[in-house]
Amino acid sequence: MSLVTSGSYGFDSCAACSVAVISGAVFHGILLALCALLIWKLTTARPWTRRLTTVSQLLSVVFSVVSWSSSPMFHAVIPIIGAAQIVTVALLWFPRTARDFFVARP
């Protein structure tokens, strides 16, 4: 019998760790696929790609707050990535050239 099994919560904490790691890997894999799709589709200059990129980047910033509060492991990285995501959103919307690029085409 392992020392970490059947803790005070009545479940196998190793199994809980496995579930957390697997679900985290799946979640980040889905986000990676979404980001890869958006990188490819942004070149089409479709307005929906700019909106979806904005939503995904801002949601990633929000999810980073959850990661921040759950573990100090990534405290050095989260602010840097969050800042890059906010800059990405700003570059999609504020420069005149970006706005012109995403103008609806006939």
Q: Quick check: 56 and 34 in contact, CB under 8 A?
A: yes
Q: What's the pLDDT score for residue 1?
A: 44
Per-residue pLDDT in tens (0 to 9) along the chain, 106 residues: 444 444 555 556 687 778 878 888 888 889 889 989 998 999 899 999 999 999 999 998 998 888 888 778 888 998 999 999 999 999 999 999 999 998 866 5
CA distances, 95 to each of 49, 81, 89 (Å): 17, 21, 11
- Decide: helix, strand or coil at residue 26: helix
> Tokens 């504020």 — which residue?
94
Q: What is the pLDDT of residue 63?
A: 87
Amino acid identity, position 50 = R
pLDDT on residue 56:
92
Quote the pLDDT of residue 69.
84
**pLDDT given at position 88:** 93
